A = this chain, B = another copy of it.
Amino acid sequence: MVGITQLMEDKVLMAFASYATIVLSKMMFMSTATSFYRLTRKVFVNPEDCASFGKGENAKKYLRVDDTVERVRRAHLNDLENIVPFLGIGLLYSLSGPDLSTAILHFRVFVGARIYHTIAYLLPLPQPNRALAFFVGYGVTISMAYRLLTSRLYL
């Protein structure tokens, strides 16, 4: 198993694995945040979810839309839209033999920007806090994509 063992000895890939795991765990936390707000505010979208709160007409009042829950869901979807390109492009970028310190700088800035984006979305902070966090993360991914396409293009 030389190939596999060597692979994870690579420092860039180890760093990518660490930062990707952190940012994915942060994204998974959004699911529990949604559940938390749904339960504490009693806001549900599926009839079976609020069956224990009452029957018939009594249960229907819990089937509603809540601003805070929708805000968490939008933050979650925005994470998904941005972390998926980071995962795909970041993994391939890590395999393309970049400079270690440059790669780590990319990963750190991305993870920091996404954590700040979540804070700015959920508090919420006034704009342009969230917009800036979004574009910093976006820029990091574009920078890795640019490096990949210029160094390893094979169409």
Residues of B near A152 (CB, < 8 A) are 8, 14, 17-18
The one of B11, B22, B76, B148 that contacts A21, using a Cβ cutoff of 8 Å? B148
> What's the Cα separation between A20 and B88 when bound, in Å?
7
A15 close to chain B: CB less than 8 A: yes
Shortest CB–CB separation between residue A122 and chain B, in angstroms? 11
The A interface is mostly helix, strand or loop, or mixed, namely helix
Q: Can you give 19 contacting A-B residue pairs, CB < 8 Å? A: A1-B97, A3-B10, A4-B10, A13-B95, A16-B92, A17-B148, A18-B149, A19-B155, A24-B145, A25-B85, A27-B85, A28-B82, A28-B138, A46-B71, A46-B74, A48-B124, A76-B81, A84-B87, A91-B91
Given A8-B152, A85-B28, A152-B14, A92 contacting B21 (CB threshold 8 A) = yes
Given A74-B45, A89-B24, A126-B48, A6 contacting B17 (CB threshold 8 A) = no
State how many residues of chain A have any CB contact under 8 Å with chain B.
71
A118 close to chain B: CB less than 8 A: no
A65 close to chain B: CB less than 8 A: no
> What's the Cα separation between A86 and B5 when bound, in Å?
21
Shortest CB–CB separation between residue A24 and chain B, in angstroms? 4
Give per-residue flags for A120-155: 1 if the beta carbon is below 8 A from chain B beta carbons, else 0: 010011110010001000100110010011001111
